[in-house]
Amino acid sequence: MTTARETPGVNEGPAADLVGQVARLFFEGQLTKVEIAARLRISRFRVARLLDQALADGVVRIEFRDAPAQDRASGRAIEERFGVERCVVAATDDDAAVARLAAEVVDGLLGPGEAIGIAWGSTVGRVVRAMTARNDPAIDIVQLAGSSTSLDAGTDPGDLRVVLAERLGARHHRIHAPAFVESTELRAALVRQPEIAATVERFDSLAVALVGIGALITSCGVPNSSLLRSGALNAADLKQLSGLGAVGDLLVHAFTADGRFVAPDLTGRAIAISIEQLRRIPHVVAVAAGLAKVAAIGGALATGVISVLVTDATTAGALLGTASRSTNAGARRRPALVAPGSRR
C-alpha cells in the first residue's frame, strides 16, 4: 500500500502552524483525513498524528455545549459565491443564536494576549454579552470609533468596550471623542491628544475586529444603521450618501452595492479606524442578519474587507438569491496564508 508523498517545503515554519491548519480543516471544514492529506500533500497517518497533537496541546478544545445549530451548506455557498474566507450561518432566525455563534467565532480567533477592536450597535452588543468568560489581562480591547450621546447604553462603543473587557478580564482603551467632528482640522487636532492618540495607535496591532453592518437603504425604506441612529450625520450628509448610491456602512465608512467606499470627505471628519487599517487586520468578523440588511451585507462582502460573516439562514438564503453565479468581487486579498495559532 502506498501513501501520498510529502512535498518539501510544506512543513517549513513553526510546527504549530501545520497543527492548527490540519485541525481547522478537520474540525471546522469537515474534511476527512484522506482529503486533508491530499490537499496538504502529506500522508494521512501524519494527519492523524497532527490531530492527536492538536488535542494534546490544547490547540483544539472539545466542549459539550448546547451550541446553536448551523446551516453549513449555506455557509459554504456564501463562501464560494462571495469569496469570503468563512461564513457561519445560524440554522434559525433567532438573534440570540446568531450572537452565540459569532461569540464562539471570535473566541476561537482571539489568542492569549492579542488585541481586538470593537465597533458599535445592538448586534455587536449581543455578541459581546455572549462571549465566553476569560481572565487574560494581557488582552487589549480597543474602541474602533468615537461615540455619540444619541446611542443607547447597550450599543455605544465605549460601553461595549468596558463590558467586553470585564468578560475577558482584559484591558480596554477608549476614544473619548465624537464619531464625527466639524472639520478635518479639528479631527487632526483631537487625534493628537495623548489619550486619543494612545488608542488610535493600537489600530495597527489588532488581531481581530468585531463589527456590524449598517443598512442605509432597506426594502421597507427605513434605514437600519447605528451610524444614522448616532445622529452624527445631518440631512445634507444623508442626501449626499443617497446620491452616491450608498447602501450600507461599516462603522463610519459608507459603501455601494458593488463594494466601493464613497464620501471620503465625510470619513475625513471621522475619528475612527480607517478602511486601510481594517483591511490589514487578520480577522474582521462582521455580524448581521435580517432581510432589511441583505443589500448592505452583499455590498459589505464586495468591499473585500470582511473575512468572516455570521448571519442567519433566512438572510443567507436571500443573499444567495440576489447574487449571480459569478460573484467573487469581495474575495479578500491577503498578503500570505497564515496558519491559525493556538486558539484559531
Each residue's pLDDT tens digit, 226-258: 666 666 677 788 788 889 999 999 998 999 999
Q: Could you report how far apart the first and last alpha carbons of the chain are, in Å? A: 34
Residues 224 and 294 in one domain: yes
CATH number, domain with residue 142: 3.40.50.1360
Cα–chain-centroid distance for residue 321?
A: 23
Q: Are residues 50 and 167 in the same domain?
A: no
Quick one: how far is CA 179 from the chain centroid?
Answer: 20
**Rounded to an integer, what is the distance from CA 334 to the centroid of its chain?**
15
CA distance 199 to 176: 10
Per-residue confidence band for 339, with pLDDT thresholds at 50, 70 and 90: very low
Q: Are residues 170 and 78 in the same domain?
A: yes
133 and 102 within one domain:
yes
> What integer pLDDT is reported at residue 6 of this predicted model?
41
Please identify which residue in the block is written with the cell numbers 468596550: 161
Residues 10 and 128 in one domain: no
d(CA 51, CA 36): 11
Element (H, E) at 83: none
Nearest partner of 146 among 264, 1, 251, judged by Cα: 251
Q: Which of 153, 205, 195 is nearest to 175 (CA)?
A: 195
Amino acid at 275: I
Asked whether residue 47 is domain-assigned, the answer is yes
Based on the structure, what is the number of domains in the chain?
2
Percent of the chain predicted with pLDDT > 70: 82
Claim to verify: residue 2 and residue 147 sit in the same structural domain:
no
Is 2 contained in some domain? Answer: yes
The pLDDT value recorded for residue 224 is: 61
Q: Is 329 exposed, middle or buried (0-12, 13-18, 19+ CB in 10 A)?
A: middle
pLDDT tens across 91-113, in order?
Answer: 999 999 999 999 999 999 999 99
Same domain, 274 and 233: yes
Give me the domain span that covers residue 203: 72-322
Does any domain span residue 94?
Answer: yes
Burial class from Cβ neighbours inside 10 Å (0-12, 13-18, 19+) for residue 186 reads middle
Q: pLDDT at residue 213 above 60?
A: yes
Question: Is residue 272 over pLDDT 70?
Answer: yes
Q: Specify if 115 maps to a domain.
A: yes
β-bridge pairing 253-256 and 246-250:
antiparallel
Give the separation between CA 249 and CA 214, rounded to whole angstroms. Answer: 5
Whether 129 and 225 share a structural domain? yes
Taken in order 16, 26, 87, 170, is the CA torsion positive or negative? negative
Would residue 49 count as lying in a domain?
yes
245: left (phi over 0), alpha (psi -120 to 50) or beta: left
**β-bridge partners, 118:** 143, 210
Same-domain status, 9 and 132: no
Whether residue 288 lies inside any domain: the answer is yes
Whether the predicted pLDDT of 310 surpasses 70: yes
Q: Does the pLDDT of residue 120 top 50, yes or no? A: yes
Centre a 10 Å sphere on the Cβ of residue 201 and count the other Cβ atoms it contains.
Answer: 12
* 211 within some domain: yes
Same domain, 21 and 150: no
Give 65's pLDDT tier (boundaries 50, 70, 90): low
Indicate whether 28 and 76 sit together in one domain: no
Where residue 48 sits, what CATH number does that domain have?
A: 1.10.10.60
**Per-residue pLDDT at 9 exceeds 90:** no
Q: Is residue 338 part of a domain?
A: no
Highest mean pLDDT among 56-60, 157-161, 202-206 belongs to 202-206
Same-domain check for residues 103 and 80:
yes
List, in sequence order, every residue forming a beta bridge with 89; answer none if it has no partner. Answer: 311
